Amino acid sequence: MNADGKKVRDAIIEFLPDPTFVIDTKGKVIMWNSAMEMLTSIPRNSILGKGNYEYALPFYKERRPILADLVFMPEVEVEKKYDTVERIDDTLVVEIFIPDFRPGGAYLWAKASPLYDPNTGNVIGAIETIRDITERKLAEQEIARSRRSLADILSFLPDATLVIDTKGKVIAWNSAMEMLTSIPEGAMLGKGNYEYALPFYKERRPMLADLVFMPEDEIRKRYNTVERNVDTLVVDVFIPDFRPGGAYFWAKASPLYDPTNGEVIGAIETIRDITERREMEGRLARSNAELQIAAEIQKSFLPETIPQIPEFDIAAQTVMAKEVGGDFFDVIPYEVMTLDKGTHGLLVADVSGKGVPAALFMALSRIVVRVNALWHHDPAKVIYNSNNTITQDSKSGMFVTLFFGMLNEKDRSLTYVNAGHNPPVVFRSHNETVEKLMPTGIVLGAVENGEYKSRRVTIEKGDAIVMYTDGVTEAINSKEELFGEKRLIEIIQKNAHLPAQAILEQILSEVKAFTVDMPQFDDITLLVIKGT
């Protein structure tokens, strides 16, 4: 190479922004540009002409071959000893981490090529360009760590989740999504053109994540079932083709932002299969509707109004613990039959069990007692026949406690049968004493041909009889204490001077005050008779 050519070459190398040096075939430095001076802090004048791997010292702190030296080495030797070096024709390229270059080390990219004599074509040296890529490598590592962290987070999520970039390509597809769609992550990553919609819709179409990139007006116009909460979209959707019979899904999608500049770089969508929940909600809705119907039917069994009976003031009420229950009361007029006018049947009963079965058994018991009450004068006969019918029809093992009495206006008497029921409380006004109407037979539905006896009491002016079910006395407070019979009797004694309805309301009020916020566990039924 002539002097002019050498000057041009040196000027070009000096102009290069990347650190660059040249060695001859003997390994002596013949060019060391300004960028190399800055990178190594070694001035050109102190390195030019130096050999014996002097140029390696700034990097490795020892004399050893670097990339420019490998240019002179046979290809087989390079491949055998330096497997990280990539060869492109006669150029060698490498990315390498050098731990001793600076504190903490440095990542360097280097490229080396032979220099040829333009006249003979012989190799006369080698040129190496070095670039400090530490910042880029650290950034790549941080991105890789972030991606691994994201992948770990997404994999940890129990809900099926996918992430797409702004071009609609899948960049994350977690294990829950694999399970939901039966499509492995490797088969979906990098796919665009709505590939991720195929498992759900069997066609390529936008999903919720795609709508994140769509203007709000467009979403509102085309997807009126989508709910927006700030920048998050939420939807409940039924997809008929996802599986036989279709499937209900809840989905939520949000944009992903670049933390450095705040720009949207993608969208994340989480999908939850809510088919079982929706089907359960449907069953519950149907069940609730059926319960409401049952409750209305049951209410129709209870008297809408209590008839006005001369010489007596009567009030009655049932408070169900659930929509339907097993408590009931009845007031049976006898005017339609040949029995004496001025007689009424009074009934309070409690079926074992709760809910719909108890309500059905209650309906059966009420009808059976009512029919028998209209055919027999003696309460014992009424309950005897009712028990046999109920026992024969009862296959569930349920039974009913019951108090039935015939109230006669003429002689102010109550002829009754207590079939295993809570003893009604009788308050005598003339001496303010209390007595109880104890059982005169067993519960209905237990055994056939049970023995029942009728008994008779009179109700004088000012006297009061309170019939009740165990929902009153067995009400529980937060200390798990029972309301009890003693409290009930005290309330009756204290309020016996009041009308029947007021006595009833006072009892209910005291029970509510006793239980406070505790749930009602059992039905409550009260029937109060006050002599006037």
> Residue 133: its pLDDT value, please?
92
* 373 sits in which H/E element: helix 355-373
Q: Give the C-alpha separation, 433 to 93, whole Å.
A: 112
Phi then psi for residue 262, to 5 deg, are 80, 5
pLDDT digits (tens, 9 = 90+) for 56-69: 999 999 999 999 99
- Whether this model's pTM surpasses 0.75: no
Indicate the pLDDT class of residue 300, thresholds 50, 70 and 90. low
Same fold, 3-132 and 305-531: no
pLDDT at 200: 94
Task: Find out whether 26 and 34 touch, Cβ atoms under 8 Å.
Answer: no
Q: In 158-230, which residue ranges form alpha helices assigned H by DSSP?
A: 175-181, 185-188, 198-201, 208-211, 216-222
- Confidence (pLDDT) at 157: 73
Residue 507: CB atoms within 10 Å: 23
State residue 308's pLDDT score: 85
Q: 305-531 architecture in CATH?
A: 4-Layer Sandwich (3.60)
Q: For domain 148-278, give its CATH number from 3.50.50.60, 3.90.1150.10, 3.40.50.10470, 3.30.450.20.
A: 3.30.450.20
User: Which residue ranges make up each domain of the chain?
Assistant: 3-132, 148-278, 305-531
pLDDT at 166 exceeding the cut of 60: yes
pLDDT band at 324 (very low <50, low <70, confident <90, very high): low
Fold of 3-132: Beta-Lactamase (3.30.450)
Q: What is the mean pLDDT of residues 482-493?
A: 95
Distance of CA 482 to CAs 237, 319, 437, 488, 503, Å?
A: 50, 18, 21, 11, 20
Q: Give the pLDDT confidence of 184-220 residue by residue, as tens digits.
A: 999 999 999 999 999 999 999 999 999 989 888 888 7
No. of helices (H) and no. of strands (E), the chain: 17, 22
**Cβ–Cβ under 8 Å, residues 404 and 390:** no
Can you give the pLDDT at residue 251?
93
Owner of token pair 């046979």: 74
Residue 347 is predicted with a pLDDT of 93
Q: Is the pLDDT of residue 449 over 70?
A: yes
pLDDT value for 484: 95
Q: What is the mean pLDDT of residues 456-468?
A: 96
